[in-house]
C-alpha cells in the first residue's frame, strides 16, 4: 500500500466525506487495491458493472466510441476521484470505457458493499449527490461549449480544467502533466487533432503556454481564462 491511511488521498472521495477517519479507514482496508499500467482497460462501455472505483494515484480516462469508431473523452480523472457509480444508481450497462492514461493504483468497492455503507452512513448520500450534481454541471457546460465556443476556447478551457487536477505551480506558471497524447487531448476537446494542434501552436506563439511532450506549462493564466470564456 505504501502510504499511511490517514494521509490517503482515497479518503477525499465523496463516499468518505464528513466521516471520521476510523470508520473510513476500515472501509478503505476492505476495498481491493489493484495496480494498472497505461493502456489497460478497467471496463468497457456497455458491459454490466457491479463495482465502483477510486483513484489513489495515476490517471484514468473515461471515453465513448461512436459506431464509426471515433472516440470522445468525457473526463480524465486523478487521485481521490470516483467512477463507476452510475451503473449502481441507475442500474444498467457501463456508460463509458475506463482506460488507464498514467500508471495507476485503483481501489474498488462492490456496489452491494456501497449500499450497506450508505445504510450505515446515510449522510454520505448527500455527498454522493453533490458529486453527481457537480458532474452534471460540468457536463452541461461542456455541452454548451461544444455548441457555442470555438476550438481554441475549448482548448483553453480543457487546459485550465486539467490544471485544477494535475497542475503544479512552478516559477514560470503552472505545469500540467496531463499524460495525454495529442489524439487524446483532441478527443477531450471534441475536435480534430489538427485543429487542436493549431490552437496550441497559436497559444505557444503568444507565450500563453509552453508544450513539453505530454505536459504543458500554462504561462499566462489570465489570457487563457479570458480565451476560455
Which residue ranges make up the site for ligand CMP (CB under 6 A)? 49, 62, 74-75, 83-87, 94-96, 135, 139
Residue with cell 491511511: 5
Closer by beta carbon to ligand CMP, 94 or else 154: 94
215/145 Cα distance (integer angstroms)? 23
Helices vs. strands in the chain: H and E counts, helices first: 8, 10
Nearest to 166 by CA among 80, 54, 96: 80
Q: Kindly state the cell numbers that stand for 43.
A: 471496463
| Apex 172 CA angle, 162 and 155, nearest 5 | 30
SS (H, E, C) 105-148: EEEEEEHHHHHHHHHHCCCHHHHHHHHHHHHHHHHHHHHHHHHH
Q: C-beta of 81: minimal distance to ligand CMP in Å?
A: 9
Q: C-beta of 114: minimal distance to ligand CMP in Å?
A: 12
Closer by beta carbon to ligand CMP, 127 or else 135: 135
Closer by beta carbon to ligand CMP, 65 or else 210: 65
Q: C-beta of 64: minimal distance to ligand CMP in Å?
A: 8
Closer by beta carbon to ligand CMP, 1 or else 129: 129
Within 10 A of 30 (CB to CB), how many other CB atoms are there? 12
180/73 Cα distance (integer angstroms)? 11
Closer by beta carbon to ligand CMP, 160 or else 200: 160
Q: C-beta of 142: minimal distance to ligand CMP in Å?
A: 8
Q: C-beta of 80: minimal distance to ligand CMP in Å?
A: 14
Amino acid at each position: 500500500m505504501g502510504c499511511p491511511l490517514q494521509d490517503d488521498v482515497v479518503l477525499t472521495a465523496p463516499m468518505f466525506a464528513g466521516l471520521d477517519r476510523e470508520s473510513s479507514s476500515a472501509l478503505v482496508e476492505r476495498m481491493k487495491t489493484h495496480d494498472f499500467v497505461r493502456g489497460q482497460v478497467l471496463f468497457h462501455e456497455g458491459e454490466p458493472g457491479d463495482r465502483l472505483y477510486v483513484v489513489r494515484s495515476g490517471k484514468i480516462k473515461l471515453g465513448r466510441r461512436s459506431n464509426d469508431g471515433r472516440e470522445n473523452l468525457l473526463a480524465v480523472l486523478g487521485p481521490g476521484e470516483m467512477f463507476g457509480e452510475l451503473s449502481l444508481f441507475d442500474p444498467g450497462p457501463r456508460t463509458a470505457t475506463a482506460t488507464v492514461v498514467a500508471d495507476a493504483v485503483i481501489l474498488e468497492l462492490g456496489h452491494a458493499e456501497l449500499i450497506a455503507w450508505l445504510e450505515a452512513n446515510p449522510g454520505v448520500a448527500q455527498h454522493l449527490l453533490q458529486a453527481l450534481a457537480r458532474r452534471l454541471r460540468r457536463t452541461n457546460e461542456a455541452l454548451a461549449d461544444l455548441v457555442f465556443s470555438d476550438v481554441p476556447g475549448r482548448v483553453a478551457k480543457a487546459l485550465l480544467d486539467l490544471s485544477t487536477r494535475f497542475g503544479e505551480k512552478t516559477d514560470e506558471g503552472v505545469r500540467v502533466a496531463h499524460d495525454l497524447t495529442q489524439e487524446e487531448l483532441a478527443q477531450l476537446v471534441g475536435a480534430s487533432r489538427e485543429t487542436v494542434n493549431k490552437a496550441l501552436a497559436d497559444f505557444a506563439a503568444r507565450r500563453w503556454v509552453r508544450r513539453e511532450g505530454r505536459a504543458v506549462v500554462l504561462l499566462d493564466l489570465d489570457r487563457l481564462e479570458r480565451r476560455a470564456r
